[in-house]
Amino acid sequence: MSSKQWIAGINAVGAALEHDAENVREVLIEAGAKNTRLAEIESRAQRLDVSVRKVPKTAIDGVVGNLRHQGVIARYAAAKTYNESDLIELVEVAAGSALLLILDGVQDPHNLGACLRSAAAAAVTAVVIPRDKAVQVNATVRKTSAGAADSIPVVAVTNLARTMKSLQQQGVWLYGLAGDAGGSLYKTDLRGNVGLVMGGESDGLRRLTRETCDSLISIPMPGAADVESLNVSVAAGICVFEAVRQRQA
């Protein structure tokens, strides 16, 4: 179980109540706020028997600091954390159609949240992140993901290259996104067990991660130099939905 934490914002709190209400411990709403969406959250929380308190805005500011909260925060305890053994099981359960998003050192919580949102919309099997030197799922990530952080497995691993090799042994083909790669995303078969490996915001794929991939591919961009010119969350969205397109076809 993860430690208790606060999530902030109308979308984040609303999504937590919708998708994982049993782990919402308490909702704090700004006293005197006139936003009808806050009233809807209050009503939903009460129907779900989740404690609701009206408090001054200064009290909410004191809890979440500079995080934009829109007049509502919730004390949240995530139901499950995932590890390497869970990842093996998730791939097995996918029965030959696992789609993984592997993020190598994403630092910006807004980028991670946006990646999770795209991954959830594309029904990605799991998102894999390093435990060190990368942002973890925190209040900002939860807010940006609009509930996706609570609906998709996020697996934080100690050694990313070792985890990638373990996935390869399970029959997962790993494609790393790199601007200098000769292969095109759109000419790559993304059906079956596939892991899409994306680098961090500043340096892209680290050397060992890059070398562990089975193949390197790029997103064709007639108007730009390379994949690193795209925000990582934009690139991730393009890649996972290309996989969805191929699998539906």
Q: Which residues in the chain are classed under CATH 3.30.1330.30? A: 5-76
In this prediction, residue 239 has a pLDDT band, given cuts at 50, 70 and 90, of very high
Q: Amino acid identity of 209?
A: T
Per-residue tokens: 104: 């190598």
Provide the sign of the torsion angle of the four alpha carbons 37, 110, 128, 2, taken in this order.
negative
Closest CA to 75 of 55, 51, 101: 51
Kindly report, residue by residue over 152-192, the tens digit of the pLDDT. Answer: 899 999 999 999 999 999 999 999 999 888 889 999 999 99
Per-residue tokens: 127: 């998102």
Q: Residues 153, 58: contact at Cβ < 8 Å?
A: no
Closest CA to 124 of 7, 240, 247: 240
The DSSP annotation for 203-227 comes to: TBS-HHHHHHSSEEEE---TTSS-G
- Average pLDDT over the chain reads 89
Closest CA to 231 of 115, 69, 137: 115
Out of 57-71, 164-178, 235-249, which region has the weakest mean confidence (pLDDT)?
A: 57-71
Rounded Cα distance between 210 and 193, Å, is: 19
pLDDT at 1: 33
Binding site per annotation, positions for S-adenosyl-L-methionine: 199, 219, 230
Q: Which residues in the chain are classed under CATH 3.40.1280.10? A: 84-248
pLDDT above 90 coverage of the chain, percent:
63
In this prediction, residue 112 has a pLDDT band, given cuts at 50, 70 and 90, of very high
Superfamily of chain region 5-76? Ribosomal protein L30/S12 (3.30.1330.30)
Query: Mean pLDDT throughout 57-79?
Result: 83
Rounded Cα distance between 219 and 12, Å, is: 31
Binding site per annotation, positions: 199, 219, 230
- Whether the per-residue pLDDT at 223 is higher than 60: the answer is yes
- Whether the per-residue pLDDT at 3 is higher than 60: the answer is no
Please report, for residues 30, 144, 190, 231, the alpha-carbon distance to residue 99 in angstroms, rounded to integers and kept in the order given.
41, 22, 9, 21
- Whether the per-residue pLDDT at 86 is higher than 60: the answer is yes
The DSSP annotation for 7-71 comes to: EESHHHHHHHHHHHGGGEEEEEEETT---HHHHHHHHHHHHTT-EEEEE-HHHHHHHHTTS--TT
Per-residue tokens: 140: 């900002």
pTM to 2 decimal places: 0.75
In this prediction, residue 15 has a pLDDT band, given cuts at 50, 70 and 90, of confident
In this prediction, residue 244 has a pLDDT band, given cuts at 50, 70 and 90, of very high
pLDDT at 169: 96
19 or 217: which leads in pLDDT: 217
Q: Which CATH number fits domain 84-248: 3.40.710.10, 3.40.1280.10, 3.40.50.20, 3.40.50.720?
A: 3.40.1280.10
Exposure class string for 51-67: b at 16+ Cβ within 10 A, else e: ebeeeeeeebeeebeeb
- Whether the per-residue pLDDT at 4 is higher than 80: the answer is no
